[in-house]
């Protein structure tokens, strides 16, 4: 399986926010993550980068 882990980058540290992410969908001012188990999480932020071979998704919060 080719799911990935999603990390939030903040102050130079990575926080794991969701494992086994299947779908990544930008929506409005954030990103919707859906895991292979169907769990959903909405992060107010943006995609910094994805590294599929490393199974990593990096997001950053948008300060409002």
DSSP for 1-62, written as a single string: ---EEEEEEETTEEEEEEEEEEEEEEETTEEEEEETTS-EEEESEEEEEEETTTTEEEEEEP
Residue window 25-64: x/- pattern of binding to a copy of itself, with contact defined by CB under 8 A: xx---------x---------xxxxxxxx-x---------
Q: With binding defined as CB under 8 A, does residue 3 bind a copy of itself?
A: yes
Q: With binding defined as CB under 8 A, does residue 22 bind a copy of itself?
A: yes
Binding site for a copy of itself (CB under 8 A): 1-4, 21-26, 36, 46-53, 55
């Amino acid at each position: 399986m080719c799911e990935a882990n999603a990390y939030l980058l903040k102050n130079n540290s990575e926080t794991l926010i969701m494992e086994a992410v299947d779908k990544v969908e930008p929506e409005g001012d954030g990103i919707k993550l859906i895991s292979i188990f169907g769990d959903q999480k909405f992060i107010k932020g943006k995609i910094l980068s994805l590294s599929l071979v490393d199974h990593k998704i990096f997001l950053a919060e948008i300060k409002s």
